[in-house]
């Protein structure tokens, strides 16, 4: 995304996108929300990357290759021209540090960027009721690695924790380098630790419905979940839409985006051969197999990754997740 040169004499302002709905973006500047739209030039430039370079009208050459359905994401830093009181026209999107996207399950292969410039992707999982879906977490963690976004694993409902297997998995995630926090909104366990971790950070919460995300948000800050929920209802719960999204300030410092109904984080453009790189514990073994970089760590002999699994240096459960993701991508 390149910066365009502003030749206008109007005042250019810079702010952060906090809110988006139906092609309108709420851009925060000095605590004030400006209702912005996107300049048609920027929209064309970003939405139709396959337009013929010689075409003056940006005619779309191949609709199936359009991948960005919305050029602006929550968390983007944008420049805009003031077009009146509290309204503006976005002209530039500053380069993103990182971004998280979902793949639109529709007929056209599209990518929707959900949020950008993220400090933590917070994976919220219940210790019980519902039981953890580790394979889903593995998939999300791999997506976050690919996107170069730090992950934080938050286990909720720790007051219900009876299953030693949950503790064991959590220990394994810690061993391979992930931060894991056990919380309970019921007892207040480690809510303060989570607050300290999130302070002054921009974080995106992901988690299945029922894991206790709303309760946790409220434990972090009273009534926060209510404000977040109003947004998810406006966006049509269950439709997995990201057309309405909003970011909220933590009153202790920091910002949060909830992702209602977000089921599939994209493994967009991840090649089968690349998956191993996004399983952090496999990285030290890559390139050390008999077939070197060509090894798929599946059926080949003398595979350093498989040896590590046999030696319990890599968890067998995580290895199976790796194989499943790789097969899905290659299918
Ligand atoms: P969400 O769908 O992820 O937002 O989940 P909710 O926050 O609505 O919580 C789902 C259910 O789990 C509710 O019945 C909550 O009361 C319950 N719950 C949430 N947090 C805790 C907790 O820390 N301990 C216990 N025992 N129950 C919890």
pLDDT digits (tens, 9 = 90+) for 41-84: 777 765 544 444 444 444 444 444 445 667 789 999 999 999 88
Give residue 238's pLDDT: 40
From the number of C-beta atoms within 10 Å of its C-beta (0-12, 13-18, 19+), residue 98 rates as middle
Task: Classify 62 as helix, strand or coil.
Answer: coil
* Distance from residue 145's CA to the centre of ligand 1 (Å): 28
First to last CA, the chain: 31
Asked whether the domain spanning 114-258 has the same topology as the one spanning 1-42+65-94, the reply is no
Give residue 235's pLDDT: 46
CA–chain centroid gap for 113, Å, is 8
Closest residue to atom 5 of ligand 1, CA basis: 212
Domain ranges of the chain: 1-42+65-94, 114-258, 272-330
Tokens of 176: 């391979």
114-258: which CATH architecture? 3-Layer(aba) Sandwich (3.40)
* Distance from residue 82's CA to the centre of ligand 1 (Å): 43
161 lines ligand 1 (CB under 6 A): no
**Cα separation, 329 vs 331, whole angstroms:** 6
Q: Which CATH number fits domain 1-42+65-94: 3.30.360.10, 2.40.50.140, 3.40.50.720, 3.40.50.450?
A: 2.40.50.140
pLDDT digits (tens, 9 = 90+) for 222-236: 988 877 766 555 544
Give residue 91's pLDDT: 93
Q: Tell me how crowded residue 202 is: count the other CB atoms within 10 A of its CB.
A: 20
Residues of the chain falling short of pLDDT 70 = 1-10, 45-69, 103-110, 229-243, 260-269
Kindly report the backbone phi and psi dihedral angles of residue 17, in degrees, each rounded to the nearest multiple of 5, phi listed first: -75, 120
Closest residue to atom 25 of ligand 1, CA basis: 157
Contact 6, 91 (CB under 8 A): yes
217 lines ligand 1 (CB under 6 A): no
Give residue 6's pLDDT: 45
The CATH class of 272-330 is mainly alpha
Total residues belonging to the chain = 331
Give residue 232's pLDDT: 53
Give residue 185's pLDDT: 94
């Amino acid at each position: 995304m390149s910066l365009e040169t502003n030749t206008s004499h109007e005042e250019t302002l810079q702010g952060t996108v906090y809110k988006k709905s139906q092609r309108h973006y709420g851009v925060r500047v000095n605590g004030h929300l400006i209702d912005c739209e996107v300049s048609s030039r920027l929209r064309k430039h970003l939405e139709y990357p396959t337009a013929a370079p010689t075409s003056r009208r940006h005619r779309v050459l191949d609709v199936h290759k359009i991948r960005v359905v919305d050029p602006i994401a929550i968390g983007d830093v944008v420049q805009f021209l003031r077009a009146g009181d509290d309204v503006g026209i976005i002209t530039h999107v500053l380069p993103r540090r990182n971004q998280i996207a979902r793949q639109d399950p529709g007929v056209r292969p599209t990518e929707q960027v959900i949020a950008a410039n993220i400090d933590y992707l917070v994976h919220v999982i219940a210790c019980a009721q519902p039981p953890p879906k580790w394979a889903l977490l593995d998939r999300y963690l791999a997506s976050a690695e690919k996107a170069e976004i730090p992950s934080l694993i938050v286990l909720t409902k720790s007051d219900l924790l009876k299953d030693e297997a949950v503790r064991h998995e959590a220990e394994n995630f810690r061993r391979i380098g992930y931060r894991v926090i056990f919380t309970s909104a019921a007892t207040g366990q480690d809510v303060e630790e989570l607050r300290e971790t999130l302070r002054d950070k921009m974080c995106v919460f992901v988690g299945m419905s029922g894991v206790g995300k709303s309760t946790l948000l409220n434990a972090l800050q009273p009534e926060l979940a209510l404000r977040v929920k109003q947004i998810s209802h406006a966006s049509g719960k269950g439709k997995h839409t990201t057309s309405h999204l909003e970011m909220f300030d933590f009153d202790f410092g920091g910002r949060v985006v909830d992702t209602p109904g977000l089921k599939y984080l994209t493994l967009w453009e991840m090649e089968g051969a690349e998956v191993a790189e996004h399983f952090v514990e496999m990285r030290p073994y890559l390139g050390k197999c008999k077939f070197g970089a060509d090894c798929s760590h599946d059926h080949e002999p003398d595979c350093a990754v498989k040896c590590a699994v046999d030696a319990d240096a890599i968890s067998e459960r995580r290895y199976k997740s790796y194989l499943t993701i790789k097969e899905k991508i290659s299918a």
